[in-house]
Amino acid sequence: MLQKLFSRTILAAGLFAAAAAQAQFQFPSQGCPAHYVGGRAPQITNPKLAADTRALCFKVFGVTHSGITRTPLWSAEHLRADNIESAQDLSREDSFHAESRLPPSQRAELADYSRSGFDRGHMAPNGDMPDRASQRDSFSLANIVPQDGENNRNVWAAIEGEVRKMVKKEGDLYVITGPAFLGANLRQVGKVLVPSHLYKLVYSPRQKAGAAWFIENRADAKPNVIPVNELERIIGINLLPALNERDKERMLRLPSIREAKRRGRG
């Protein structure tokens, strides 16, 4: 049913096609290998997404940023249980800021989100960050998307919490989180494109299996759990290029999600 639904959707054709026509494709480098399965960063398979992309490496996560959407296309983490333990003892200090490594013509600014009605939603969550420097990195707008506030503070916070519980059991996990821009009627806040959907892919090296939560960016949305290769077809990105198709079909069991009663740490 999901596959049939998304086969009828187009990926912001006007915006991305215009950008691709004007810009030479800049596929992200293979930077930040420690954050990716097999040391291999995702590969963009839909050329409409490839214009004006830049790979940004942070201490505990890596981002590939789109200068067209002015959001990350993905944020990737190699989560370890010891880092999650350290993160639990760290109080939250908000420090949202524009990413100075990005050209001003391609980056989000704080003014884009001002009075937008959307939360500044983390992709690599603040709650995963083991130290102050990494926490500040997570508040870079290169790691942020416009997210429905109820979605961010409830179901999405619950997903992030479940991933942290899984890491404690598994020892380590690879996690890739990002937006999807599906449909022809996408919204903007300032100059930043609002994603229609969000995803969080989880891969367990111990079980050699992965799966993803996929959810609409709206208040009453419920997450679907889908195989890795189905998510890749939907968003036009090969998220785990180190794995073959058979590997990607091996489903990791993801917990069912109950909405958080209070805001998670993001």
DSSP assignments along the chain, one per residue: -HHHHHHT--B-HHHHHHHHHHS-B-PPPS--GGGSGGG---EE-SGGG-BTEEEEE-SSEEEEEETTTTEEEEEEEEEEHHHHHHHHTSPP----B--TTS-TTTS--HHHHTT-SSEEEESS-GGG--SHHHHHHHTBGGGEEEE-HHHHHTHHHHHHHHHHHHHHHHSEEEEEEEEE--BS---EETTEEPPSEEEEEEEETTTTEEEEEEEESSTT--PEEE-HHHHHHHHTEES-TTS-HHHHTSBPPPPP----SS----
Residue 4 is predicted with a pLDDT of 43
**With 60 as the cut, is the pLDDT of residue 9 above it?**
no
Residue 113 is predicted with a pLDDT of 97
- Domain chopping of the chain, boundaries: 2-248
Q: Mean pLDDT of all residues in the chain? A: 89
Q: Percent of the chain scored above 90 by pLDDT?
A: 80
**With 50 as the cut, is the pLDDT of residue 21 above it?**
no
Residue 265 is predicted with a pLDDT of 52
Residue 206 is predicted with a pLDDT of 97
Q: Which of 10-24, 38-52, 62-76, 235-249 has the lowest mean pLDDT?
A: 10-24
Give Cβ neighbours of residue 207 (< 8 Å, ≥ 6 apart): 170, 250, 252
Q: Percent of the chain scored above 70 by pLDDT?
A: 85
Residue 25 is predicted with a pLDDT of 36
The pLDDT of 100-117, averaged and rounded, is: 97
**Which class in CATH covers the domain with range 2-248?**
alpha beta
Residue 245 is predicted with a pLDDT of 94
pLDDT band for position 22 (cuts 50, 70, 90): very low
